[in-house]
């Protein structure tokens, strides 16, 4: 079982007199910066020239600097920009300006675990990863609650990296809910695997396969959409609230019987072997290498795949049906 820490375990004095440079002001960036400030921590925001987030950060009352200038006087530098740019930002703007003894902090282990960022040996390196999107991290904090966080230490040059990381997590509000101890490797590898095999890749392909099977058999696309996509939220909400047991308790006996008899036929031994292959590609760095090369080439395959996905019939059917649901704040993804 993971070690779980709370506010009572933290020494918040380790943040006193320290300045945190939050690099990036997107989903996580705005939540980190605002929660830290409200916890009494000195915060500056570092953004690249022309960043669309500058206006939002300034409107929220932060001093906004270039990344170079934000880093120069910072005691903790938190990376909250996309994974694929962190290596370049580190080499060009952070490393040349990093104070002696300053800590490097991350909300995801990708860039360190896969050597996109290679910190100096005399600097602490830790990770605080809230297990929720930034707007939830912010809202729970302002409500007097918090979102659970993961805490990992990759490099403990000072002997106090874990203490500093825990204080940072508690300043975010994580210590109110619980801070789970992990490693950079575990967080990174499980995160990538979960996204690919279940949360994004697995679930979208499962939904489309069900939709296509019904439509190809002659059923109306609208009915197929409701059964294979729309009702997915109802089931996931039940599992989110009380696990699989609560979901099975809540659905009809017919649905429960179908679950128990068909699930293992859909997710069979072949699928489980494929998942093991995906995990192996994550662990040995194959996926990370492929992703970085795709970015270096301008994402040609990704752009083609995204266009193909956008053209799937389920998207057009869904847009029409969501317009019939006044209780929903329907969204439409912008063109990539």
84 is known as an active-site residue: no
28 annotated ligand binder = yes
53 annotated ligand binder = yes
In the numeric block, the tokens 């939830």 are attached to: 136
Closest of 46, 52, 55, 53 to residue 78, by C-alpha: 46
Q: What is the DSSP letter of 130?
A: E
34 annotated ligand binder = no
294 annotated ligand binder = no
27 annotated ligand binder = yes
In the numeric block, the tokens 């795709």 are attached to: 294
Among residues 30, 32, 108, 113, the one annotated as catalytic is: 108
Closest of 56, 58, 20, 10 to residue 41, by C-alpha: 20
134 annotated ligand binder = yes
26 annotated ligand binder = yes
Distance between CA atoms of residues 58 and 316, nearest Å: 39
Closest of 292, 302, 287 to residue 194, by C-alpha: 287
195 annotated ligand binder = yes
Alpha helices (H) in the chain, listed in sequence order: 27-38, 54-59, 67-72, 83-89, 110-113, 134-142, 161-172, 174-177, 184-194, 201-216, 221-225, 231-250, 253-266, 269-283, 286-296, 300-310, 313-322
219 annotated ligand binder = no
252 annotated ligand binder = yes
Distance between CA atoms of residues 198 and 204, nearest Å: 9
Mark the binding-site residues for NADP(+), compressed into ranges: 25-28, 51, 53, 134
Mark the binding-site residues for substrate, compressed into ranges: 252
Mark the binding-site residues, compressed into ranges: 25-28, 51, 53, 134, 191, 195, 227, 231, 252
Catalytic residue IDs: 108
Mark the binding-site residues for Mg(2+), compressed into ranges: 191, 195, 227, 231
């Amino acid at each position: 079982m993971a070690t779980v820490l709370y506010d009572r375990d933290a020494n918040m004095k380790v943040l006193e007199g320290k300045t945190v440079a939050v690099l990036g002001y997107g989903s996580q960036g705005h939540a980190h910066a605002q929660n830290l400030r409200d916890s009494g921590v000195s915060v500056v925001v570092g953004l690249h020239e022309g960043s669309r987030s500058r206006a939002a950060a300034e409107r929220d009352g932060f001093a906004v600097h270039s990344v170079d200038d934000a880093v120069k006087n910072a005691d903790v530098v938190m990376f909250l920009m996309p994974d694929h740019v962190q290596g370049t930002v580190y080499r060009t703007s952070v490393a040349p300006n990093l104070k002696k003894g300053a800590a490097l902090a991350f909300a995801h282990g990708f860039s360190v675990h896969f050597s996109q960022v290679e910190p100096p040996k005399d600097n602490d390196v830790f990770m605080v990863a809230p297990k929720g999107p930034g707007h939830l991290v912010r809202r729970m904090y302002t409500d007097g609650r918090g979102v659970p966080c993961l805490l990992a230490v990759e490099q403990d040059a000072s002997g106090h990296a874990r203490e500093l990381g825990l204080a940072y997590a508690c300043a975010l509000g994580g210590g109110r809910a619980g801070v789970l101890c992990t490693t950079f490797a575990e967080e990174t590898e499980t995160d990538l695997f979960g996204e690919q095999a279940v949360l994004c890749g697995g679930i979208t392909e499962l939904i489309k396969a069900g939709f296509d099977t019904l439509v190809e058999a002659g059923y109306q696309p609208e009915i197929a959409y409701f059964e294979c996509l729309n009702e997915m939220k109802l089931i996931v909400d039940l599992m989110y609230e009380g696990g699989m047991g609560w979901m099975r308790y809540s659905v009809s006996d017919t649905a429960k019987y179908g679950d128990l008899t068909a699930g293992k036929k859909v997710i069979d031994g072949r699928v489980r072997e494929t998942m093991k292959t995906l995990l192996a590609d994550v662990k040995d760095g194959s996926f990370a290498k492929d992703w970085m090369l795709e970015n270096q080439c301008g994402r040609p395959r990704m752009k083609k795949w995204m266009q193909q996905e956008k053209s799937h019939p389920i998207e057009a059917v869904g847009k029409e049906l969501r317009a019939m649901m006044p209780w929903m704040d329907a969204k439409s993804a912008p063109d990539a």
